[in-house]
Each structure stands twice: as C-alpha cells, then as structure tokens.
Structure 1
C-alpha cells in the first residue's frame, strides 16, 4: 500500500480490502461476493446461558480460538476476516452475540473447513474431533497488564455486577417460561392430537416423499434468534432466502415444536443434512428446520419472530385451525389476556437486565481499550487471514 492509498483508508474509515473492491468495481471488474448466513450459537434463555457452539465447529480442520476475557477487538477481528473472505467469493457463517447486538462471536468458512471463534467464558470451546488443528490466540498479550492492575478493583466489581445482571435476567426468563406454560395449558386441553399426527404425516410426505440419500446426515443445531439487550432479534429472512418457506401459525401449546422435531427426525432418518434451530427462549423447543438439499424451510412464524408470506411460493401451516377446538380463543379470552400481560411484563423486565449487563460490559471494555495495543491486534488479524488464505491455496 503506498502513502496515498494509506491516507485514503484513514480518511474514509474503510479497510484497504474494501477500497480495492470499490476500485475494481469502478473499473468494471467483477467483484466476487460469497453468501453470508447469520445466526446465533448461544442464547440468553429461560434455562440460563445456552451454548450450541460445538455443533457449528463440527468437521472443521482448522480452528482459531480467541482468548482474552473482555479484551476489545475480537468481534472486529472476526468481522474483518469474514468480510475479506466473502469479498473473495467464499460463503461464510457469521455467529452473532446474544449479549451485544453489534458483536460477533464467531466465523465459519465451510468450504475451507476453518473457523474463528471467541472462546470467552461462557463460550468455552473445545473441538470434539481429534483431527482439528487448533490455534489458541491469546489477545491478552495486546494489553498493558500494568495499566490494568491499577484498576483491578474496578474491573472485579464490574465483572461481579455483570454476572448478577445476567443471573437476574435468566431468573426472569425462567419465571416467564412458567407463565408461558400456563398459556400452553389452555390450548393443550383443547388439542386434537390425532389431527396433529395427521398433519405431521402429511408434511413428512410433502417435504420428503420417498427421497433418501445414501449418506450420514449432518445435523447443525443453532438459534435463529435471541433475547438481546435490544429485545428479540432474529435472522429468519436471511436464513430462508431462496428457499421454499412454510410459515407455521398457531398458539402456545398447539404443537408447533413437536411438528418441527418430527420433521427434523424424518430428514435425518433419510440421510439429509438438517439445520435445527432451537427456540431462543426455551432451547428445548424448536423454531425452525431447514433442509437445503431439498430447498425448504419450515418455521414457527409467531411472535417474537412473526412473519407473513410475501412470495408466491410461501405457504401457511395453520395449526390452530387444524388442531385446536374451534372457539378456544374466545372461550378463554379473559384468562389468556391476563397471562399475556404477565408474560410480556416479565420478558420486558428480563430484557432490561440484559441491557444493564451490556452497559456495564461497555464500561469494562472501555477500560481494556485504554490499555490495548490495536496495532498488535491488526497484526494478529492479518496473520490469521493469511493462514486461512493458505488453506485455500492448498485446496486449489
């Protein structure tokens, strides 16, 4: 990079790679762009902090695990490497943080069988497959330890207060789940289970028919959304792009998750690769199943990830209409109204605890930022990118 290019980078705030892509585009040169999938591999749930990272790193041959507590720069490192690889035409998975709406927890490059993961607790990552080459990257080496020591008492207090805020959030979500169970009870008592079984069999036949693949199914467990400091967030539009979509409508307790579990099991039994998206509120429930080899996604399209069909190929699966006694909503309107109000209030209070934890985390990261050598982080970032690029050369 010459001086003019370096100055331009500083003035625009864009990376050198992005500037190169823009320059090529102006000259009429095609700039490759890979497909980016966005999802969560962890969540702030009614059952505490849930971690599904092990599923996303299955089959990787090279894994970079970033260590270093609240050291700043990890998310930026992951995002920059991902952007470079996507610009080079590689499909990538971006794993988002449920505790920081602007942060990333990981990057997977499926074609290169490589990944970069923030290994900070509560996301302790240990590869399950012995063949994976692991690089532990200690970013605490970029921090001036002496400067942090002078603020150790403040740092410890922030850590403790952040943990307490998360614990209050999880306790609140657990109470919300108990209220949600009350909600479900109303509909379960009015459920036609035979009709639900018939509906399930119809969709197993519709989606799979007699098709099978003579291979072992790969199963990816993920979250399509999460409870975050800014409320419920999901990536349904991104994850279902270019797929035939089935929108499951219904009520709490009307069998949506059970339907999805049976559809996922049918796909696995037939040898298809199945993406299973767990509920970000209760990870024991499912919100979506995707089988890309057959080009379909079927998902719970009710709050907080409620969508309506907007493509000609979209279809609705109405479980209330098919499986619940007619008039149930009307017969229990008063009781349901009270349950909904209590549930909404509890969820709102829990989200506020997550927002408090995020605010405190920002204070903690600011302390670390004042003691961090960001030039060293850039060097580490470039070294990781070069090693991943080297994998591409080997595969070519």
Structure 2
C-alpha cells in the first residue's frame, strides 16, 4: 500500500435481523468536525459528497466513503481519516443519534437551492411518495425478519462464555478508571488503556435490487489475507479478536450484514493484514449464498422506484449552478481549515 492515498468504501449502517442498525454513533465519538447536508433526495447532496471525497483523494488524503444502506449506489457520507472530519447526507442516514457533544458541526440546507414555489405545488405528491417509501422499507424489514430471522447457517459451537455477549454492543463499552483506587491501580489501568486497541466496525455487504453488493474483494485487495474455514472458524475469529484487543493498534471489524453479532473479518491496517472467514469473493462462505426471494426482490424494486420518483421531483426544482458553487466553497473551506 505504501504512501498511496487510500479510498475505502463500506456501509456504516445496515438492515439486519435486528432491524436498521447504525454504527455511526460509535464512529462519531472520534470525530472532530462534521458537515451535515440537509434537504430532500435528488438535490445533489450525495453527488457533492462523492465529488468532494474524490477530490480530497486526488490531493493525497485517505478518505472513507459511506454507502447508503437503502441505496447502495448513493453516498451517505465521507470521512477524512487524518483529521476525523466527516460530511454526511442527513437524508441517507438513520434519523437518530447522529449528533455528538463536542463535535464542531456545520449545517448546509440544500432546500435553499430549490424553487420553493415548485416544491409547494409538488408537496401533496411528495408526501404520498414518502409514505410509500416508508411503507416499502417497513415491508423489507418484515420480510427480512421472516426469511432471515434464524441463521442461514448454524454455528457449530456453543459456549456459555459467549452466549448473550454479541460483539456489537461491547465494542466501546470499556470504562477503565471506574473502580480505580490509589496511584498503582490507576497506573495499571492507564497502561491497559494505552495498550488497548482502537476498535471500529462496519459492514462490507449491502442490499441491491439484484442481490448482495459485495465490497469485500475491493476493500481487501491490497491486504495480506489469512482465511479461516471449517467448523471452528467462528470460534477462531472471536478468539483472535479477544487476543488482539490488547495490542494497542487500530483494528477494524467487518460485521455480518444480517447477523451483526457475527464477525466476518478482522482488519489490521497497520500490519496490512486481514483475517477472514473463507473467500471474500464467495458470498456462500459468508452464509450469504441464498438468493433473494421473489417477495424481497419485489419489495426492494418497488421501494427503489419510489425513491427514484421522489428524487426526480426534487431534482426538477434544483438550481445546480448554486449547488456547484457550494461544492467549490465547501472544498475550499475544508482545505483552508486543514492548514
């Protein structure tokens, strides 16, 4: 990988057997600045985010691209890793807990680039289509719960130590100084804090109308890979993660897109190493080989068609010359603040 700037694509949110899960709150605890783009779909937010991310990548910055969980072809945000600055499309992320105390926030409302008279005329239809989108998303969640509520593959081991202890809720739950008493105890806890790794998690698989969008092969292509297979793969992955948490380095965890308590991969960026279950290019190795049912495909297609319809209604009202102007102003502002 060397000094080549790195552009990573992944999902910070997912539609799982537990419903819609956002990993953004965990990520935001490390962020220092967030630019929040507000406004309806089709107003140019996702395109602007992608263009700014690519421009920063061309300028030598490492950039993470967040894909939308509901529309994997759209960008929900970007993260400039060196500075921990992010740009988010408010419409494409879960409408909860995306604000974090202490983060410097900049809000840009794209509705000011729209012809308000045209929007008022379209408002009844917009509300109707939005209701259909919400209904479609609810239907998708219900179908997933029915078809994938149970695991598509059974775990071959069962340990009382692991029961009821999914990785997702415990990733950032440590409070090392809670019970510390006296200087030596505090010193030991401080040392453990220094040694403890910075753990981040995300998804590399997302829903698409044609099936799973698998970002894993592209994300991992420059890494050395150790692949686990067989009945003990699950147990081995959890053991590796448990042992690795004390290494004092950045560890990225790739979660199963349907069962977020299951680990598909562990990425050690500083070591240029990834440990993975099976072949990243083979969905079957990750338990994702079952094709989507007719009902799920229909729900995805119908909901996507309503999303496209809503975007078109907003797009017809937008002055994209102004949107392009805000792109130039925003990238200049970001670059100026970096100096």
TM-score (norm 1): 0.69
1:123 aligns with 2:123: no
1:150 aligns with 2:121: yes
Unaligned runs of 5+ in 2: 160-191
Aligned to 2:207: 227
CA–CA separation in structure 2 for the residues paired with 1:149 and 1:240: 47
1:243 aligns with 2:223: yes
Aligned to 1:336: none
Which has the larger displacement, 162-171 or 122-131? 122-131
1:46 aligns with 2:17: yes
CA–CA separation in structure 1 for the residues paired with 2:158 and 2:118: 65
CA–CA separation in structure 1 for the residues paired with 2:278 and 2:148: 19
Cα 1:350–1:45 change in 2 (3 A) is: farther
Aligned to 1:385: 331
Q: 5 Å matches for 1:98-117?
A: 98-117=69-88
1:353 aligns with 2:324: no
Aligned counterpart in structure 1 of residue 138 of structure 2, from 167, 177, 183:
167
CA–CA separation in structure 1 for the residues paired with 2:86 and 2:31: 7
1:283, distance to aligned residue in structure 2 (A): 1.8
CA–CA separation in structure 1 for the residues paired with 2:95 and 2:235: 30
If each structure's helix is expressed as a fraction of its own residues, which one has the higher value? 1
Is the 8 Å Cα contact of residues 97 and 103 (structure 1) preserved in structure 2? yes
Q: 5 Å matches for 1:293-308?
A: 293-301=270-278, 305-306=282-283
SS in 2 for 1:112: coil
Aligned to 1:74: 45
CA–CA separation in structure 1 for the residues paired with 2:277 and 2:245: 20
1:372 aligns with 2:307: no
Is the 8 Å Cα contact of residues 255 and 265 (structure 2) preserved in structure 1? yes
CA–CA separation in structure 2 for the residues paired with 1:290 and 1:307: 20
CA–CA separation in structure 2 for the residues paired with 1:156 and 1:91: 39
Cα 1:53–1:213 change in 2 (3 A) is: closer
CA–CA separation in structure 2 for the residues paired with 1:292 and 1:33: 14
Which has the larger displacement, 292-301 or 156-165? 292-301
Aligned to 1:205: none
Is the 8 Å Cα contact of residues 223 and 274 (structure 2) preserved in structure 1? yes
Aligned to 2:103: 132
Is the 8 Å Cα contact of residues 101 and 229 (structure 1) preserved in structure 2? no
SS in 2 for 1:180: coil
SS in 2 for 1:77: helix
SS in 2 for 1:232: strand
Aligned to 1:36: 7
1:151, distance to aligned residue in structure 2 (A): 1.8
1:345, distance to aligned residue in structure 2 (A): 5.5
CA–CA separation in structure 2 for the residues paired with 1:262 and 1:159: 45
Cα 1:165–1:304 change in 2 (3 A) is: farther
1:36, distance to aligned residue in structure 2 (A): 0.7
SS in 1 for 2:149: helix
Aligned to 1:288: 265
CA–CA separation in structure 2 for the residues paired with 1:345 and 1:216: 40
CA–CA separation in structure 1 for the residues paired with 2:333 and 2:195: 31
1:124, distance to aligned residue in structure 2 (A): 3.0
- For residues 309-346 of structure 1, give each alpha carbon's deviation from its aligned partner in whole angstroms, at most 9, with x where no partner exists: xxxxxxxxxxxxxxxxxxxxxxxxxxxxxxx99x6454
Is the 8 Å Cα contact of residues 224 and 235 (structure 1) preserved in structure 2? yes
Cα 1:62–1:125 change in 2 (3 A) is: farther
**RMSD of aligned residue pairs (Cα, Å):** 3.0
- For residues 175-231 of structure 1, give each alpha carbon's deviation from its aligned partner in whole angstroms, at most 9, with x where no partner exists: 2223536x42xx64xx597xxxxxxxxxxxxxxxxxx99444211111011122331
1:127, distance to aligned residue in structure 2 (A): 5.6
1:73, distance to aligned residue in structure 2 (A): 0.7
Is the 8 Å Cα contact of residues 33 and 89 (structure 1) preserved in structure 2? yes
- For residues 153-193 of structure 1, give each alpha carbon's deviation from its aligned partner in whole angstroms, at most 9, with x where no partner exists: 21111111111111111111112223536x42xx64xx597
Is the 8 Å Cα contact of residues 46 and 171 (structure 1) preserved in structure 2? no
Unaligned runs of 5+ in 1: 1-31, 194-211, 309-339
Number of positions where the alignment pairs a residue of Structure 1 with one of Structure 2 = 305
1:70, distance to aligned residue in structure 2 (A): 2.0
